[in-house]
Amino acid sequence: MKTILVLCTGNSARSQMAQGYLQHFAQERAEVYSAGTNPKGVNPLAVQVMAEDGIAISGHTSNHVDEYAYLRFDYVITVCDNAREQCPVYPASVQRIHESFPDPDSPESFRLVRDQIKAFCRQFVDQKLV
């Protein structure tokens, strides 16, 4: 089983949505975590738009990246430029992947970003977790 960390700044929307989709698509092939460099709490709009697509993230928590320092990850995926710049150093064996998504600020933008993240996550799982 692979371990994946999705990292953004606030761990409130983009990384939460990515965690939901990655776990959904990967099923038992991966254990997925999300964290932020400055966590702000899970955004209710992220919960809402994910529920609209059948993915429940209402039980997710907003965590600081340091909370997972003890874990060994196969992949660290940064989903915003700020997180990529502040990402902790990981061993060379960790594959770092960066895909920047816009920071949503309205219900419509949350849906747009959700769909972009969904496509990215599906492709990631299809290519990396075969």
Catalytic residues: 8, 80, 87
Dihedral, CA atoms, 88, 64, 29, 24, nearest 10 degrees?
-130
CB contact set of 112 (below 8 Å; sequence gap of 6+): 102, 104
DSSP character for 60?
-
Note whether 94 and 75 are within 8 A (CB). yes
